[in-house]
Amino acid sequence: MDHKSIVHSNEIKAGINAGKPIVALESTVLTHGLPRPQNLKLAHDMEQAVRDEGATPATIGFLDGVLHAGLSDAELERLANEVNAYKVGPRDFATVISKKICGGTTVAGTMLASKYTNLKVFATGGIGGVHRDAPFDISADLQALASIPMIVVCAGAKAILDLPATLEYLETMSVPVVGYGTDEFPAFYSRESGLDVSVRLDTPQAIVDFARAHWDAGLHSAVLVTNPVPETEAISKSEMEPYIEQANREAREQGVHGKALTPFLLPRISELTEGKSMHANLALLLNNARLAAQIAKAYYRSNTRMLA
């Protein structure tokens, strides 16, 4: 696939041509992550959070088999209300294109689309990783992080995963894990995990400088920026762990696995926490969108200085 096969909104096309700061946003949170109509409200809120920081949002998704970089309000609404939207990782591009169907892109799918569009900064909630009790169930997100050079802002890996194994995989694949203002790897709903990041950085410009040094050293992996959930919405690891264990146990008992596992676990955990985890999820998504926009602006300023 080349850039000619992607439909860019006029806003994104103009931004790319001018080298303006743009933040890629995934769309599985729209199609699979949240119930209606909360999903559409969040999509608008994330885009607005990016705009408020002076950058342009580019929500990525498939409509009728066509990959879109930047969705209009009408297109966002349509994707949010698609009953049978596909969950699109890299392996699924050919499926949705050939069948001309609609779908939301995962972290890995959004990164692949961003590679074709030359977008360098991406905001998501939590990355996928190695699943608990299923060490061969490894998210395609990790392979994308190992092979696509861009800055990915998240709140760590989803807490439902095996976090130590996920970090070991990232180390093996030479993906630096940056803690934004923290020495500890965030655990999605929780600010703490007991696990270390590979480096702590405290400003968006420092993250941009680090990313350039990483790529200048000849590495082609992403730079994973972990941004802890805001303290006001954070849930301690000790409080969350019993809920996560219960939801995982129920998934095993019901035979839920593969692509269906995360869409099963997150709503179930929200039920068990009486919506508390959902509030944390929404807060961290907006927090990540804001930071990604700040990084995109710093990246744009650095490019401008280099060309001057």
227 to each of 64, 82, 88, 197, 244, how far by Cα in Å?
34, 31, 25, 11, 21
Sign of torsion over alpha carbons 165, 148, 211, 60: negative
| 158 noted as active-site residue | yes
| 4 noted as active-site residue | no
Which one from 87, 120, 158, 297 is the annotated catalytic residue?
Answer: 158
Q: Which 3 state secondary structure label does DSSP give 288?
A: helix
> Diameter of the chain by CA atoms?
61
> Residue 60 and residue 70: Cα distance in Å, rounded?
6
Which one from 26, 53, 184, 233 is the annotated catalytic residue?
Answer: 26
Angle of helix 261-272 relative to helix 276-307, nearest 10 degrees, comes to: 120
Angle at 85 between CA 84 and CA 88, to 5 degrees: 140
Annotated catalytic residues are 26, 158
